[in-house]
Amino acid sequence: MLPRTQRQKDILDYIIRYSGQRGHVPSYAQIARYFGVKSRATIAKHIAALERRGLLERRQEDGSFDLAVRVDDLPSDALCEVPLHGHIAAGVPLEVVHNSEMIAVPRFLLGRVRPEKIYAVRVKGDSMIDEHICDGDIALIENRTDARDGEIAVVFIDNAYATLKRIYRRGAEIELRPANSQMEPFRVPAYQVEIQGIFRGLLRPTA
């Protein structure tokens, strides 16, 4: 089900872009400031409308919201297909299992990135939970071999294991930083790290 009004679509597109760049959704105040709206209540009404249409899902425990696109409700011309390359760890690194499965993805989630530059991985573990990337989610990854410091990246470690972490360069080492207050960053020699993509969006399967 698509947004009902142009303003709803604009707000949803902004949330998608923001979360793709920063790994978390913007606050009501940030959305209001971006659109030049003085009242956060106005933004809250648009968010509530997007929730009713199944495009945003509210986290009841803290009142924040996450993207939860219901693919089955979208018309076929609003979808594209991307390959699902097995699982990736957001915890202890796991080997990525490649396969040829294709999954349908809402085209607007990709922004300006062409579908052929995107692949998907299913997240295992909870080390990125503070970025609202949870176990069982499907992460949409732009196929790239470079990343800026602070971006959430898929990294291949020592030609054996892949994981999803924020990346920072520390001289001859790469720091891989989880988003979980119970976990510590860790470093590996830069020559053992191969960047395989940048986090661009999230699908949360609806059970």
Could you list the active site residues? 127, 165
Task: List phi, psi (to 5°) of 11.
Answer: -65, -45
Give φ, ψ of 78 to 5 degrees: -95, 5
The position carrying tokens 């693919």 is 71
**Can you give the length of the chain in residues?**
207
Q: Which amino acid is at 9?
A: K
DSSP symbols for 37-100? -S-HHHHHHHHHHHHHTTSEEE-TTTS-EEE---GGGS-GGGEEEEEEEEEEESSS-B------
Distance between CA 119 and CA 82 in Å, rounded? 5
